[in-house]
């Protein structure tokens, strides 16, 4: 039989959790004997200690995961049967799960934060949601069950933004306390590094490849960081006011930013050169993001641009004419609009009009066919990227809706609001 050996640190954690359980249940003699045998005689049970009730929580989590595994195995077996019988063939006109959109009513309202929500972000591989707030904390949730899991403390002012790395091994947060913090997901979200360098509130953060970060700040700069050392590699300067948003193209060659100075800029993060200065918004730009490559066909239809010619795949399975990422940027502003820009020409291609108040955030649907935006008008709006029209409006919250994210693991959308609640929306 294979022996499962825990690392020393995890073994100690387990022993203390068992001791806490024994003390809580009144097994004093057993607890004393166990403490002697495990060299934990100095352990004192405390309701405020992180080991308190940990064993029960872990046991509940294991049962919940086992139930999920059984449900997934049953779904998988049914799908296999459908495939064999031909029942899985999609009937004409039916919409596939890759095109599912959020529908009311809200599936769950997550209530743990004590102040407005500033950012929501799904884990890239697991049904986990991280939320940031003005209450200086980050909360981790099970996105499928909507159960609260833990609180991350360390920042001393508002946590403005957060992001997981592509593999989901690290979570990075940034704050009005002038710092960025790096949390190790596998090691119970332990804070493993704090980055100092900005002179004012750090507004946004994104990964720039595997070992670099890019952050935006109220000090009017964008900084590129080396994650392994914590060093600031370079500073991008050019905005005249607070830089509120930052995003990275999928190939990590370009960075875009939105600012209080009403502009959107596109940068080369290696040379610090500003490649494009996009102007047209009439108010603060709250958010700017690169359009994904799978949205290009819809964007070209919307802007009446020629579609690239179809080409045969190259020998290695890749197309020799695969479009470069970072060709288009969408921005959202306090002027109540979203705008679509051609980065190469600097041309404004389309203005999405419909929100009745500040546009605070948006996300591209994984299909590349729609944009979902949230606003201080308390709504979530779905935009058809090929026509530019608003196809659906959903009442998202009872107060200003500040942030949104779309899970690539399960059909869920999360929204955050000034009313301190996080909404989980099922897509179907």
The percent of residues above 70 in pLDDT, for the chain, comes to 91
User: Does pLDDT of 91 surpass 70?
Assistant: no
For the segment 58-71, the average pLDDT, to the nearest whole number, is: 78
Cβ burial of 112 (10 Å; 0-12, 13-18, 19+) is middle
pLDDT one-digit tens code per residue, 244-272: 999 999 999 999 999 999 999 999 999 99
Tokens in use for 167? 């593999």
Confidence of residue 274 (pLDDT cuts 50, 70, 90): very high
Paired tokens of 181:
């913090």
Q: Is the pLDDT of residue 214 over 90?
A: yes
- % of residues, the chain, pLDDT over 90: 74
What is each CA distance from 291 to 83, 297, 346, in whole angstroms? 34, 11, 15
Beta bridge partners of 277: 265
- Dihedrals φ, ψ of 235, to 5°? -120, 130
Q: How confident is the model at residue 348 (pLDDT cuts 50, 70, 90)?
A: very high
pLDDT for residue 99: 82
CA 157, CA 185: separation in Å to the nearest integer? Answer: 22
Listed range (70-84, 227-241, 404-418) with the worst mean pLDDT: 70-84
Residue 69: band (very low, low, confident or very high) from pLDDT cuts 50, 70, 90: confident
- In sequence order, what DSSP letters do the residues of 182-206 get, joined into one string? EEETTTTTEEEEEEE--SS-EEEEE
Burial class of 290 by CB neighbour count within 10 A (0 to 12, 13 to 18, 19+):
buried
Q: What is the average per-residue pLDDT within 111-125? A: 97
- Give the pLDDT score at 89: 39
Residue 130 in contact with residue 171, Cβ under 8 Å? yes
Q: How far is CA 319 from CA 15, 322, 369, in A?
A: 56, 5, 21
Say what the pTM is: 0.78
pLDDT, residue 217, reads: 98
According to DSSP, the residues that pair with 416 across neighbouring strands are: 403, 422
* pLDDT at residue number 97: 65
Is pLDDT larger for residue 194 or for residue 51?
A: 194
Band of residue 114 on the pLDDT scale cut at 50, 70, 90: very high
Cis peptide bond upstream of 79, omega within 30 = no
Give the angle subtended at the CA of 406 by the CAs of 403 and 408, to the nearest 5°: 150
Domains of the chain: 7-84 (1.20.960.30), 97-305+325-426 (2.130.10.10)
Q: Which ranges in 26-53 belong to alpha helices (H)?
A: 28-37
Confidence bin at 310 (pLDDT 50/70/90): low
- pLDDT over 80 (residue 77): no
């Amino acid at each position: 039989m294979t022996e499962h050996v825990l690392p020393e640190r995890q073994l100690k954690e387990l022993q203390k959790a068992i001791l806490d359980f024994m003390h809580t249940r009144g097994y004093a003699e057993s607890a004393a004997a166990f403490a002697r045998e495990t060299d934990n005689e100095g352990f004192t049970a405390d309701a405020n200690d992180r080991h308190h009730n940990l064993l029960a929580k872990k046991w509940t989590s294991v049962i919940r995961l086992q139930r999920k595994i059984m449900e997934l195995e049953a779904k998988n077996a049914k799908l296999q049967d459908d495939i064999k019988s031909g029942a899985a063939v999609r009937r004409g006109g039916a919409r596939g799960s890759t095109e599912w959109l959020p529908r009311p009513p809200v599936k769950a309202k997550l209530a743990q934060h004590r102040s407005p929500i500033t950012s929501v972000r799904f884990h890239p591989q697991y049904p986990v949601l991280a939320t940031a707030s003005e209450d200086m904390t980050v909360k981790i949730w099970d996105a499928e069950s909507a159960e609260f899991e833990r609180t991350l403390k360390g920042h001393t002012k508002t946590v403005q933004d957060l992001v997981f790395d592509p593999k989901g091994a690290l979570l990075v947060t940034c704050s009005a306390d002038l710092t960025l913090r790096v949390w190790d997901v596998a090691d119970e979200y332990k804070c493993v590094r704090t980055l100092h360098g900005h002179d004012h509130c750090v507004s946004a953060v994104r990964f720039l490849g595997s070992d670099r970060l890019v952050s935006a700040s109220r000090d009017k700069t964008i900084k590129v960081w080396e994650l392994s050392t914590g060093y600031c590699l370079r500073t991008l300067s050019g905005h005249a006011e607070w830089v509120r948003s930052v995003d990275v193209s999928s190939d990590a060659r370009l960075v875009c930013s939105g600012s209080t100075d009403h502009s959107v800029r596109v940068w080369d993060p290696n040379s610090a050169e500003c490649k494009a200065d996009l102007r047209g918004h009439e108010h603060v730009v709250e958010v700017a993001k690169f359009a994904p490559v799978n949205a290009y066909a819809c964007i070209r239809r919307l802007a009446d641009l020629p579609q690239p010619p179809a080409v045969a795949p190259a020998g290695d399975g890749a197309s020799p004419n695969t479009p470069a990422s970072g060709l288009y940027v969408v921005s959202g502003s306090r002027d109540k609009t979203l705008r679509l820009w051609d980065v190469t020409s600097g041309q404004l291609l389309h203005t999405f009009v419909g929100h009745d108040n500040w546009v605070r955030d948006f996300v591209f649907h994984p299909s590349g066919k729609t944009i979902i935006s949230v606003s201080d008008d308390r709504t979530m709006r779905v935009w058809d990227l090929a026509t530019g029209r608003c196809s659906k409006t959903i009442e998202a919250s009872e107060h200003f809706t500040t942030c949104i994210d779309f899970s690539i693991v399960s059909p869920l959308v999360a929204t955050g609001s000034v009313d301190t609640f996080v909404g989980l929306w099922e897509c179907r």
